[in-house]
Amino acid sequence: MKQKILWQKDMNAKALDQNYVALIGNPNCGKTAIFNQLTGLNQKVSNYPGITVEKKIGKLKSDFDKEINVLDLPGTYSITPESIDERVVAEQVMDWIHGINRPSVIISVVDATNLSRNLYLTTQLLDLDIPVILALNMMDRINDKSVLPDLSNLKDKFGLSAVVPMSALQGRGIDELKNAIQTAIISPKPKKSKMLFSSHLEVHELLNPLVEFLQKQFDYKPRLARVQALRLITRQSVVDLYRPPHTAEHNFDAEIVNEIEKFREDAVRAIEKAGLNHRTLEATIRYTWLDNLLQQSENKEINSLKKKSRSENLDKILTHRIFGPILFITLLVFIFQSIFAWSTYPMEWIDAGVRIFGNYILDIMSTGILRDLIVEGVVGGVGAILIFLPQILILVFFMTLLEDSGYMSRVAFMLDKLMTKVGLHGRSVLPLISGYACAIPGVMAARTIDGWKERLITIMVLPLMSCSARLPVYAIMIGAFIPARKVFGLFNLQGLTFIFMYFLGTFTALVIAKILSKFIKEKGRSSFVMELPPYRIPLMRSVFRQVYTRGKLFLFNAGKIIMAVSIVLWFLASFPKLTTDSTNISNLGQIETVNPIHNSYAGKIGHAIEPIIAPLGFDWKIGVGLITSFAAREVIISTLATLYNIEDDGENMLSLTESLKNDINPKTGQPVFSVLVALSLMVFFVYAMQCMATLAIVKHETNSWKWPAIMFVYMSVLAYVASFIVYQGGTLIGKF
């Protein structure tokens, strides 16, 4: 009984400051749209860059005197966890069952066009002894109201606090929902609903030992004990919810869990002996009850089955076995071309703006260290990165469109067969594609893959997808060194090079996945059950919000790192100042200027590693850039900008492109950069693992240092070898 006291104490401590409602529903039921409508723009976005948060909390926007918070949980079909992302909801519900953090009201969001499957989850929520409001969403898509059941009957039979027909998309029903929340909070006594499976009496007896144990051990109410017993026999994963160690707040002794396990096994055996299927028992009982209640005639069911929706007609082309894949590739090419083409003008404006600003500061401030720091370090470094904002915004814009329209699940559908051939999964496609924006949300999104082996491989190859932090590197190298020629009269050579870099990373990811699948011997089943949601026109408001959020994250979070690195670098590159004469006489008797930067700390570090990277065609400045880019890839750009500005002694602000083109290697008299060096550097960035944040998230998701370590090593080796081949091979070809 020790356990019981533990959580009861918790309940008392937390019950005082609890006044919140929880939103739960199937994936694609419009839950997040309702959340945004309820909270206005007040939602608390994750403080971790670029991650779609698992749970979101916001303040309810209303004129009640009480402050009410809204908790948004990830979409799930059931509170019995099947995949890792569903565990979040299952664990939360486990907390509630044990009196921790119980919400005042649960809002069960259901898609009105798909009632029976959505209400399945609602029936599970009703057992928790918490008032439930049914938010009947997507009413705008119901043309024929006769398909809906009698709502007041539904309310009574389920024992709901309220049923609110609504359309979050059109903003209808939101006020009614707010009122229903208020009413439910003021009168929090839930009406008793019917015991769901009073019909299956033979099952009751078989479950009794387990039920009694749960009642005795955890003080569950009879109804909860019974459904929890049913859930326990459905899946082993439910037993694991009781098992420590745990991220959730409830925690039980291993001994108690072992006892649950024992009772569970007995119950499973008894049920199988009675000729019943323990895996499907809970769902069968609930659906029997539900289907009986909704009473849809067979004719109606068949008619709705045979009806072809707009989405199905669209899919005749979009997932056609030949046109579908072709269209997908075309779309990707179009997106990457657009990133380059659409951003030209905004980038020029930003570039000009930064230069004008830098020169303005040069004018108004008197010469001195502070002016140098601001112009060379801050304006030069941050400005060099700012210029890539348009491209990143365009990329995020397209990624959000693809996801929000419902197209990404079609891509998973089309490509599953190919993905399984290289050891991945159809559901690897979305994480991999979102890796084009940033690896971190991609690694998180890999949670939706239910096979551990496929999930691990997806995570391991994900950083090979060129993320938006590489984009500035490609863009500046291509802009400076690849001629803007038209090829085949249609494509721009610069755009093609750009696409090639993305292709190289993607292709390598698939090859590495295949290799890893041979080595990783994790046993595990893999399956693919995925809903294909109806297509919808993305809400521009929410697309732009996503673009805005990403842009802000890039500017502020990345900006902070870049600013800090730029300042530190400026010091390293500016000191020690040469005290002796900065000129000496070379062998030939010519007067040669030794730029003080060579003697600075940064110069020394760069020169020290130069022998290692010289075979790749890189000089010491690029070397410094490679080191600083471990803070974040894009930092190499600001590093080079800062270094060049200091070298120029801040006489005036040149754009980085011009500085790169003008840079002459003092030893050879040749330009430092050439097409070959640019290619070698880009290939290095395609492969190199230069992102601490990604390594950290991989450690978190795989729960060991082993995988991030392997990731770092294989990617570093790949980067070095590939750049070596590009530069040395290219040089060799050039000789003939």
Partner 1 sequence: MHSVADFKPGDVATIIGFSGGMELQSRLVEMGFVPGVHIRIVKFAPWKGLLELKIRNYHVSIRMNEAKNIMAKRYER
- Interface with partner 1 (CB under 8 A): 77-78, 80, 82, 113-114, 116-117, 120, 234-235, 277, 279-280, 283-284, 287-288, 291, 298, 301-302, 304-306, 311-312, 315, 319-322, 324-325, 413-414, 416-418, 420, 426, 525, 527-534
What is the rounded distance in angstroms from the CA atom of residue 191 to the CA atom of residue 161? 7
DSSP class of residue 112 equals: G
CA dihedral of residues 73, 78, 80, 86 (deg, nearest 10): -40
CA dihedral of residues 599, 600, 601, 602 (deg, nearest 10): -100
Q: Per this entry, what is the length of the chain?
A: 736
Which one, 325 or 615, has the nearer CB to partner 1? 325
Which one, 218 or 289, has the nearer CB to partner 1? 289
**Least gap, CB of 502 to partner 1 (angstroms):** 22
Which one, 299 or 590, has the nearer CB to partner 1? 299
Which one, 189 or 417, has the nearer CB to partner 1? 417
Which one, 116 or 716, has the nearer CB to partner 1? 116
DSSP class of residue 41 equals: T
**Least gap, CB of 77 to partner 1 (angstroms):** 5
Which one, 423 or 603, has the nearer CB to partner 1? 423
Which one, 529 or 585, has the nearer CB to partner 1? 529
Q: Are 301 and 460 in contact (CB under 8 A)?
A: no
**Least gap, CB of 355 to partner 1 (angstroms):** 50
For residue 188, cis peptide bond before it (omega within 30 degrees of 0): no
Q: Are 372 and 574 in contact (CB under 8 A)?
A: yes
Which one, 321 or 521, has the nearer CB to partner 1? 321
* Strand ranges in 158-281 using DSSP code E only, listed in sequence order: 162-165
What is the rounded distance in angstroms from the CA atom of residue 179 to the CA atom of residue 182? 5
Which one, 525 or 667, has the nearer CB to partner 1? 525
Closest CA to 722 of 685, 694, 693, 668: 685
**Least gap, CB of 204 to partner 1 (angstroms):** 20
Q: Are 604 and 571 in contact (CB under 8 A)?
A: no
What is the rounded distance in angstroms from the CA atom of residue 357 to the CA atom of residue 387? 14
Which one, 12 or 236, has the nearer CB to partner 1? 236
**Least gap, CB of 702 to partner 1 (angstroms):** 23
Instruction: Give the number of other CB atoms < 10 A from CB of residue 581.
Output: 7
**Least gap, CB of 133 to partner 1 (angstroms):** 22
Three-state secondary-structure class, residue 402: helix
**Least gap, CB of 265 to partner 1 (angstroms):** 15
**Least gap, CB of 23 to partner 1 (angstroms):** 20
**Least gap, CB of 442 to partner 1 (angstroms):** 22
**Least gap, CB of 233 to partner 1 (angstroms):** 10
Sequence-distant (≥ 6) Cβ neighbours of residue 670 within 8 angstroms: 664
Instruction: Give the number of other CB atoms < 10 A from CB of residue 379.
Output: 25
Q: Would you list the DSSP string of 426-468?
A: GGGHHHHHHTTT-HHHHHHHGGG--SHHHHHHHHHHGGGS--T
DSSP class of residue 633 equals: T
Closest CA to 307 of 145, 143, 149: 143
Tokens (6 digits) for 103: 């919400």
Q: Are 113 and 125 in contact (CB under 8 A)?
A: no
Instruction: Give the number of other CB atoms < 10 A from CB of residue 337.
Output: 17
Sequence-distant (≥ 6) Cβ neighbours of residue 283 within 8 angstroms: 78, 120, 234
Which one, 413 or 498, has the nearer CB to partner 1? 413
Sequence-distant (≥ 6) Cβ neighbours of residue 361 within 8 angstroms: 371, 374, 375, 379
Which one, 231 or 621, has the nearer CB to partner 1? 231
DSSP class of residue 376 equals: I
**Least gap, CB of 120 to partner 1 (angstroms):** 7
**Least gap, CB of 105 to partner 1 (angstroms):** 24
Which one, 417 or 667, has the nearer CB to partner 1? 417
**Least gap, CB of 316 to partner 1 (angstroms):** 8
